[in-house]
Structure 1
Amino acid sequence: MTTEQLRPDSGSLPQNRSSHHSPYGGDRLLFLTEALRTFHDTGALAPSGPDPVDALLVPVTSRPNRPISVLEVGAGTGVVTRRLARVLRPGDRLHVVEANPRFAERLRDDPVLAARHPEVGLRLSACRVEAPPAESSGANK
């Protein structure tokens, strides 16, 4: 699948590609605030744009017809995460690790991720990747 084929349609899920954020209007502001506050941990000044996101999704959509597991580390406000949730198939699993508690809270409340959770095994871990939570920590979405 090419990145052009990944362009989302005007389906039923909310999306705003022109401003590259979720239905939450403050994603860009939140990202910039957190990037400036915790630059060593954030490592970027803006969420991913549409072209890098499309490129990241090509391997996920160009695969055999069997369930896969995806690990996303450093999801930020969820630009890539929401697109992953849209293209993953029932039975696939998505584990998102986000160290920033403000970003993790935004992801936990995201309506796109909540809508896909029953079909896609979605797990959010609010921790650093080198310190994963114990299985019984209740971090599952």
Structure 2
Amino acid sequence: MLSGFKKFLMRGNVLDLAVAVVIGAAFGAVVNSFVKDLLTPLIAAIGGQPHFEGLTLKIGSGEITYGNFLNTVVSFLIVSAVIYFLVITPYERITARFSTPEENTLRECPECLSEIPKAAVRCRHCTAQVTPLS
């Protein structure tokens, strides 16, 4: 029973996932620090507000801290952009380069214009005789 669990843990994809989670968490911390300590103070200095994360909206006796929310949104956008441009786009280019195009095995019936296999001698829809294509 434990040997099966050990085999599961030692699979490459489980270890890859664990490494990805740790690196992702560390990268998220770096981006959060960048946004909180560098980017939003710069935006706040331009806007005249000393601390961007201190932006609040008071409604009655309640207080909405939308500055923290803006920090989180900016962090999310930066992480998403980095993942898209540095992971997804290169991966799609590489897979497109090494993938083989899928061969079309269908054609149109000359009588009813429905799709039939290229090797068909009779249309399955209208039963017209057709010459097979190789």
Range class of TM-score, shorter chain: under 0.3
**TM-score (structure 2 length as normaliser):** 0.24
Structure with the greater alpha carbon radius of gyration:
2
**More helix as a share of residues:** 2
Q: Which has the higher contact order (CA 8 A, sep 6+)?
A: 1
